[in-house]
């Protein structure tokens, strides 16, 4: 998840230390490269950038000496274009008199780049941040003012992003928002803009929160909001922020895990926009189509997404796919695979050692390799034939939440494309996720007191909700330290039912088509004294048989699993707090496992 910061001052001064400090405050968002640009009163632009961490690049390129009246810094999280110096941001236009940087994804990047090249522009990178600069350049070159050029560029740029840009010879910076976060600040003798509050608060507490479809014009002494659609000024009061830095980094949430749970509507929307516009999806699907055998390979949460993917592929594309834990792939399947087989390797970090080991074993037998990965430029992206990004941004909390949702959504999208189905129905998902979080959070909170003392649970699912049961159980183990076993509901009677005693908690996750089967499992538990909690769409049969019910919005069999994981994430989070643990950093665990 990229981060941008821009500042305008009354007079030329050394801006490097301010830009470095702002970049450091944005570094929690995750990044692979960093850059700074300053605009001088004489019309020159000083641009320095490279791959690496803020302090390393700043020292190597001497950011601290950079001066000017206006400055921009950017941390890049690669989606379009590999991590490299040329793809690092900020970017210049063809003539070097515009400089800008963005946060987010411009999903028609490839098409616009081709158009800009055809129009004779100098396109230096494959990064969509440069595309934003050229989108403005196109209209400046046609004689439009900066403000009017930005209004036209806004219409050309598709996706979810925020962008800041300046022009040599002017006094202003301009920033606009379309889906990604953006907030402006006003201090004594300066104004500034950033992806989020943490990089602004040490400078000023007076901020202007922006909405989609708005441009902010930054001058040293004032901020002006403009409506993109009409070009008219917008009147909005500047507010004074009282929250501390830690709360601001977490977006006002108590923990990164809760923040990332609530980011799921946004990242799902960004992934759908990205896949709809990406030219890489079709060849990815075609490679799946031609496979003799299709394997879905991951670890932990990613493996659970693979299990869900195998169900989606069978249902929607009539295509068998074998989900397998990455270490087990090596003894169980690697000796049998060949050039006609395809593996989809799934990883949040792209550096998981078990997954890379499986990939190495597959490559030794010339198996084709595809990747679903969140970190562009990671080892996995370099080793696969092709990959698709998960577009989740940085996930700080150790328990995976938004990355799991987008992994599942990616598999659902690919299964629909492989089966020849239209994907427009998925556009309702972000709103459904938001509704589910809003409606289930209080339902979950009401259960916490009755569950907090238990050190063991079962979480049961069937069909498309079986992987959700696995994932829910993993979340409970990770951050509450209570043992929770996730399993197929029909397997419960084959032994584990013996564990049930008075008030013993058993969670059931049901799809709308599996209600009769679930009712049998519920009653096998309740007649032995167990306490049953069902997560499902409203159904009078389930409500009549279970002790408690967490109700999901009606979404149908394909989307219910994606919604059902949300209350399990919330339950894990709230139980963790009730038991006195930090959900962001559970003991003994690491975000990226790079050892065998």
365-393 b/e (C-beta count within 10 Å ≥ 16 → b): eebbbbbbbbbbbbbbbebbeebbbbbbb
392 included as an active-site residue: no
Task: Give every CB contact of residue 141 below 8 A, 6+ residues apart in sequence.
Answer: none
Q: Which of 36, 178, 250, 591 is catalytic?
A: 591
Question: What is the distance, to the nearest Å, from the Cα of residue 585 to the centroid of all Cα atoms in its chain?
Answer: 19
User: 59 and 130 in contact (C-beta within 8 Å)?
Assistant: no
Q: 2 an active-site residue?
A: yes
Report how far residue 445's alpha carbon sits from residue 441's, in angstroms, rounded to the nearest whole number. Answer: 6
Tokens of 45: 């632009």
Q: Which tokens in the block code for residue 453?
A: 């003392």
In sequence order, what are the residues at sequence separation of 6 or more whose Cβ sits closer than 8 angstroms to the Cβ of residue 212? 177, 178, 179
DSSP notation for 223-267:
EEEEETTT--EE----EE--S-HHHHHTTT-SSHHHHHHHTHHHH
Residue 426, preceding peptide bond in cis (omega within 30° of 0): no
Annotated catalytic residue, options 2, 36, 132, 299: 2
Q: Which residues pair with 472 in a beta bridge?
A: none
Q: Report d(CA 36, CA 374) in Å as an integer.
A: 25
Q: Where are the beta strands (DSSP E) in 293-432?
A: 294-298, 322-325, 342-347, 368-373, 386-389
Pairwise CA distance, residues 272 & 268, whole Å:
6
Pairing of strands 222-227, 233-234: antiparallel
Give me the active site residues, please. 2, 591
């Amino acid at each position: 998840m990229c981060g941008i910061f821009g500042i305008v001052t009354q007079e030329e001064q050394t801006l490097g230390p301010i830009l470095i400090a702002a970049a450091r405050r944005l570094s929690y968002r995750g990044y692979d490269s960093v850059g700074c640009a300053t605009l001088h009163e004489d019309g020159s632009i000083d641009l320095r950038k490279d791959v690496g961490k803020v302090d390393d690049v700043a020292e190597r390129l001497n950011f601290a000496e950079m001066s000017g009246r206006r400055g921009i810094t950017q941390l890049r999280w690669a989606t379009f274009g590999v991590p490299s110096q040329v793809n690092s941001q900020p970017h210049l236009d063809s003539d070097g008199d515009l400089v800008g940087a963005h946060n987010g994804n411009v999903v028609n990047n490839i098409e616009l780049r081709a158009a800009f090249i055809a129009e004779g522009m100098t396109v230096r990178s494959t990064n969509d941040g440069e595309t934003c600069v050229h989108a403005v350049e196109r209209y400046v070159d046609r004689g439009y003012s900066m403000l009017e050029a930005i209004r036209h560029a806004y219409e050309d740029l598709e996706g979810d992003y925020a962008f800041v840009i300046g022009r040599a010879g002017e006094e202003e910076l301009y920033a606009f928002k379309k889906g990604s976060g953006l907030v402006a600040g006003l201090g004594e003798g300066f104004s500034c803009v950033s992806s989020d509050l943490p990089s602004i608060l040490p400078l000023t507490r007076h901020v202007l929160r922006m909405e989609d479809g708005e441009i902010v014009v930054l001058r040293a002494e004032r901020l002006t909001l403009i409506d993109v659609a009409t070009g008219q000024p917008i009147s909005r009061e500047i507010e004074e922020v009282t929250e501390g830095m830690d709360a601001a980094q977490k977006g006002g949430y108590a923990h990164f895990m809760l923040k990332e749970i609530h980011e799921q509507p946004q990242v799902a929307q960004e992934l759908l926009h990205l896949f709809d516009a990406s030219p890489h999806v079709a060849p990815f699907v075609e490679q799946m189509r031609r496979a003799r055998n299709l394997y879905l390979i991951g670890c932990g949460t990613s493996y659970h997404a693979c299990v869900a993917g195998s169900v989606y592929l069978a249902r929607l594309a009539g295509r068998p796919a074998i989900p397998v834990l990455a270490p087990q792939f090596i003894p169980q399947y690697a000796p049998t695979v060949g050039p006609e087989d395809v593996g989809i390797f799934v990883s949040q970090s792209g550096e998981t050692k078990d997954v890379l080991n499986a990939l190495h074993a597959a490559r030794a037998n010339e198996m084709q390799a595809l990747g679903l990965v969140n970190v562009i430029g990671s080892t996995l992206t370099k080793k696969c034939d092709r990959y698709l990004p998960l577009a989740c941004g940085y996930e700080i909390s150790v328990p995976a939440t938004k990355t799991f949702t987008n992994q599942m959504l990616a598999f659902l999208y690919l299964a629909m494309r492989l089966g020849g189905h239209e994907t427009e129905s998925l556009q309702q998902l972000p709103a459904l996720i938001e509704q589910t979080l809003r409606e289930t959070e209080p339902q979950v909170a009401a259960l916490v007191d009755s569950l907090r003392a238990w050190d063991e649970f079962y979480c049961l699912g069937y069909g498309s909700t079986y992987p959700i049961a696995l994932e829910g159980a993993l979340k409970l183990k990770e951050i509450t330290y209570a043992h929770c076993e996730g399993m197929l509901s029909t397997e419960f009677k084959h032994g584990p039912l013996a564990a049930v005693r008075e008030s013993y908690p058993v969670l059931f996750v049901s799809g709308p088509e599996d209600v009769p089967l679930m009712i049998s499992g519920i009653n096998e538990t309740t007649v032995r004294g167990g306490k049953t909690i069902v997560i499902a769409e409203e159904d009078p049969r389930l409500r009549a048989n279970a002790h408690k019910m967490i109700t999901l919005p009606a979404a149908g069999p394909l989307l219910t699993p994606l919604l059902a994981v949300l209350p399990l994430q919330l339950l894990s989070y709230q139980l963790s707090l009730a038991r006195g643990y930090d959900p962001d950093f559970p003991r003994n665990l690491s975000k990226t496992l790079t050892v065998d």
